[in-house]
A and B are shown apart, each in its own frame.
Chain A
Amino acid sequence: AQSVTQPDIHITVSEGASLELRCNYSYGATPYLFWYVQSPGQGLQLLLKYFSGDTLVQGIKGFEAEFKRSQSSFNLRKPSVHWSDAAEYFCAVDPSGGYNKLIFGAGTRLAVHP
């Protein structure tokens, strides 16, 4: 079945530490890939997206993600986490070829210790 998996439900890191959030998908072809962030009480905001080309994608707020076709993964990274990064992060794929019908992962909630 087509799915998006975020294996980590909760992650806690110290401020200034590096971060990697995992995302795996199971689709035959490479879908369009997205990472969204949801701060408490807010809607979702797009961090970055991958359609094709360079497999390392830069986003807003210092985030980047790397697409690895062989692993069907699109992991999100940040070299140094700030307290304001505490939020829930969602990986999403669009297998619909342009109608932007997104399939979301269950989300990873990030806590940041001072």
Chain B
Amino acid sequence: DVKVTQSSRYLVKRTGEKVFLECVQDMDHENMFWYRQDPGLGLRLIYFSYDVKMKEKGDIPEGYSVSREKKERFSLILESASTNQTSMYLCASSSLMVGLSLSYEQYFGPGTRLTVT
């Protein structure tokens, strides 16, 4: 089974703290993604990476950065946490699509619920 794990299920941080959210996948996937999930807004893409040390901004990158030093690990960094970053954060991974591969899908971790006070 594909497994995407996230370092914490629940996290409480103070405003201004630097926050690291870690994600690890065990399927040798090229692509990794960070989303935030808010009620009524669905999932919004923060950053994604299609290779080690490669990253691209998603739809809402402001206030976030990422790091991908190893293929299996993708970290989301909040340089200075703010209350409006209180949210559920979901990590996902996928292989590159080749043709119309039946295995082409994103696999999600369980999420980290971050509260910034």
Chain A residues close to B by CB (< 8 Å): 4, 6, 9, 32, 34, 36, 41-46, 49, 51-52, 90, 92, 98-107
Inter-chain CA distance A43–B97, complex, in Å, is 22
Q: Which of A32, A41, A100, A107 is close to B42, meaning CB atoms less than 8 Å apart?
A: A107
Q: How large is the interface on B (under 10, 10 to 19, 20 to 34, 35 or more residues)?
A: 20 to 34
Q: Are B48 and A43 in contact (CB under 8 A)?
A: no
Q: Which of B31, B43, B44, B110 is close to A100, meaning CB atoms less than 8 Å apart?
A: B31
Name the distance in Å between A11's Cβ and chain B's nearest Cβ. Answer: 15
Interface assignment of B12: CB less than 8 Å from any CB of chain A: no
Q: Are B48 and A9 in contact (CB under 8 A)?
A: no
Interface assignment of B25: CB less than 8 Å from any CB of chain A: no
Inter-chain CA distance A44–B45, complex, in Å, is 14
21 A-B pairs (CB sep. < 8 Å)? A6-B42, A41-B110, A44-B43, A49-B105, A51-B100, A51-B104, A52-B100, A90-B43, A92-B43, A98-B97, A99-B31, A99-B48, A100-B94, A100-B97, A100-B104, A100-B105, A100-B106, A102-B33, A102-B106, A103-B45, A106-B40
